[in-house]
Chains A and B, each alone.
Chain A
Amino acid sequence: MGQAGQSGDIVHGHRLWVRLIHWLIALAVLTLLYSGVAILMVHPRLYWGHAGNDLMQPLLEIPLGPNHHAIHFSASAPFFGDASGPQDANRLNEPWNENGWARSLHFLAAWFFLAGLSAYLVIGLLTGHARRALLPHRNELTRRNLWQDIKAHLRFPLPIAPPPPYAILQKLAYASVAFIALPLMFITGISMAPAISANYPFLLDLFGGTQSARTIHFFSFAFVATFLAVHLAMVAMTGPGRQLRAMIRGH
């Protein structure tokens, strides 16, 4: 077991609560990624602001799924007689849509995600684990130290990283996901919920509107998915059996 004993986190190994929460969040995040992609595929267009739809200019169109450039509308008619103003049009074909299960699965997984993330942040911050294991110290953020760690990662075979203490790149990756990207996914996610923004209107202003929140939700997703790919690749390259065992048994 990775019990700390007298020496805090210096003894190598993952504590029990870290392992439990790791797998809870892992399962929730995988489910959220899966259902989230299905939801995105229904309307793979991103906007900025409060309103955004097929009759408006998107910020970005993602060439993903059967609905990309496949939805047709009748000729549009202006609502106020102004051809450059808001338009009305009938949608002529039904889009591919699996949101019945995808949305319900997304929000079910979100409860487990919320439970795991809040438990991690509360325990991690209260016990000092987060500060000791993940937050980079000022003297680690020197150009020299960063460059050394980058060189270490570029060398083959990769160094087998014993669980805490972590080197600077690993700290930065974990800290940015745990303290920035995952909380941001949650906040941008609930900003899109009409019942929640009715109770907390500041959520609509925090990101500049529902569609801005949705766009940020997408880019945070892209960051988390990239992290996950790199994380899994690093595990695979540094002795996957040993790494898995450490996250299950603790050492």
Chain B
Amino acid sequence: MSDQRLLLSRRGLFGGLASAGGLLLTGCGEQLPPTYGNILRMGDNLTYTMQRALFSPTGLAREYDRSDISSMPATGTYDPSRADGGLYDPAQGPDYARLHKGDFADWRLQVEGSVARPGSFSLADLQRMHRRTQITRHMCEEGWTAIAEWTGVPVRSVLEAVGIKPSARYVEFHTFDLMANSLDMIDALHPQTILAYGMNGRNLPIGHGAPLRLRVERQIGYKSVKFLRKIVVTDVFRDTGDIKSGWAWYNGI
């Protein structure tokens, strides 16, 4: 699989062994998410550290057959332009309404931060890049699961296109609602971590995050944020909101 090869060619991406060493260290407690003195967050960090230490960074989530595809409810925000949504962002919602009206022709994904060539990508740009289709299981923290087919571009390919700096450690995903999240490099560069523009063979429906959503198959559903707007690569961990509001940042369990 070319995806496997991609994951193993870490040096080519970072341009130095030193950075690869730094990448490994993020899993060993060099830089852990803040706990704010909360014992539950310390437990989250224990689980994060142990899972990174015990499990292979390349382990793949189960991929299913087309016949396994199931119903899937759209939960959380189902339309970021609706002001009555619980996570409505007054700064972004009207923009989303305008872009939606234009069938997302004017939508662009900004990529910035610790990258050599910050820039933006249109939907057509992303669709011309390396394409991956995977039929995977969405595991919601609430307890339900759904199997769907996702088509998109690996986050890794986008990061390669902009050239992340050796100091980069985290990748943040910002959206058109109040959700935001981030991944460490192990999950961000994983071959199944994709920016999906297609679902079950069609364009991504609005409820499931049109025009582009994240899929992180080795973590719980809420890490796979919808309605993407901007990616920021950072050298240090920044709380995008979850930890302060009482939710675990790492959710491999």
Which residues from chain A sit less than 8 Å from chain B, CB to CB?
39-40, 42-43, 45, 50-56, 73-74, 76, 79-80, 86-91, 94-95, 97, 99-101, 103-105, 107-108, 111, 190, 192-199, 201, 204, 210-211, 214
Which residues from chain B sit less than 8 Å from chain A, CB to CB?
39-44, 46-47, 51, 54-56, 59-62, 64, 68-76, 78-79, 86, 137, 139-148, 199-202, 205, 207-208, 217-220, 245-248, 252-253
Residue contact B41 to A104, C-beta cutoff 8 Å: yes
Residue contact B143 to A204, C-beta cutoff 8 Å: no
Residue contact A51 to B68, C-beta cutoff 8 Å: yes
In the assembled complex, 12 residue pairs joining A and B whose CB atoms fall closer than 8 Å, in A order, are A39-B143, A53-B70, A53-B145, A80-B201, A89-B71, A91-B78, A103-B141, A103-B248, A104-B247, A190-B253, A195-B252, A196-B253
Nearest Cβ in chain B — how far from A213, in angstroms?
10
Residue contact A104 to B40, C-beta cutoff 8 Å: yes
Residues of B within 8 A of A94 (CB): 86
Chain B interface, DSSP helix/strand/loop, else mixed: loop
Please report the C-alpha to C-alpha distance between residue A166 and residue B248 in the assembled complex, in whole angstroms. Answer: 44
Please report the C-alpha to C-alpha distance between residue A91 and residue B75 in the assembled complex, in whole angstroms. Answer: 5
Residue contact A50 to B145, C-beta cutoff 8 Å: yes
Contacts A86-B71, A100-B245; A198 near B142 (Cβ below 8 A): no
Instruction: Report the nearest A residue to B206, measured CB to CB.
Output: A90
Instruction: Report the nearest A residue to B66, measured CB to CB.
Output: A80
Nearest Cβ in chain B — how far from A20, in angstroms?
21
Residue contact A192 to B139, C-beta cutoff 8 Å: yes
Most chain B CB within a 10 A radius of its CB, from A50, A55, A79: A79
Instruction: Report the nearest B residue to A73, measured CB to CB.
Output: B73
Residues of B within 8 A of A40 (CB): 143
Nearest Cβ in chain B — how far from A131, in angstroms?
31
Residue contact B56 to A97, C-beta cutoff 8 Å: no
Residues of B within 8 A of A42 (CB): 141-143
Nearest Cβ in chain A — how far from B48, in angstroms?
10
Residue contact B218 to A52, C-beta cutoff 8 Å: no
Residues of A within 8 A of B146 (CB): 51, 53
Contacts A94-B86, A103-B141, A214-B143; A195 near B73 (Cβ below 8 A): no
Nearest Cβ in chain A — how far from B191, in angstroms?
12
Residues of B within 8 A of A190 (CB): 253
Most chain B CB within a 10 A radius of its CB, from A87, A88, A204: A88
Residue contact B207 to A90, C-beta cutoff 8 Å: yes
Chain A to chain B: the 6 pairs with minimum beta-carbon distance, closest first: A195-B252, A108-B43, A43-B143, A51-B70, A55-B71, A53-B144
Most chain B CB within a 10 A radius of its CB, from A53, A56, A90, A211: A53
Instruction: Report the nearest B residue to A108, measured CB to CB.
Output: B43
Residue contact A90 to B137, C-beta cutoff 8 Å: no
